[in-house]
Amino acid sequence: MTADARAVELTRAAADAARDKLAQDVLAFDVSEQLALTDVFLLCSAANDRQVKAIQDAVEERLLELRAKPVRREGEREGRWVLLDFGDIVVHIQHAEERVYYALERLWSDCPVIELPNDSA
């Protein structure tokens, strides 16, 4: 089983929105084989708390245009690591320091990477 087309569509839209707010190290993993709750983890980094919030707002706005609302949000108050759960995808927006410390990409390195447009950006 792999991530369905809707999950990939939402992932690419979220990645574009994050990049529009200068998110760094944007990476998506197809976790559908490992997790029953979601298909994709999208990871991205931000330089500071303010940028984390700007990326969060941009992702939510873009996905709302595609009729996807987060079913759960975590970490908004702290602004260091925001998790947005859209059901099919989970977006992790991490302050650069948290990204290094928690190294989620290492945890999910055995999962297929989803190709994102403008991966070189």
Q: What does the block give as tokens for 116?
A: 């994102």
Residue pair 81/75 in contact (Cβ under 8 Å)? The answer is: yes
Q: How confident is the model at residue 36 (pLDDT cuts 50, 70, 90)?
A: confident
Is residue 20's pLDDT more than 80? yes
What is the pLDDT of the chain when averaged over all its residues? 93
Percent of the chain at pLDDT exceeding 90: 88
Distance CA(49)–CA(47), nearest Å, equals 7
Q: What dotted CATH number matches 5-107?
A: 3.30.460.10
Q: Is this structure's pTM higher than 0.75?
A: yes
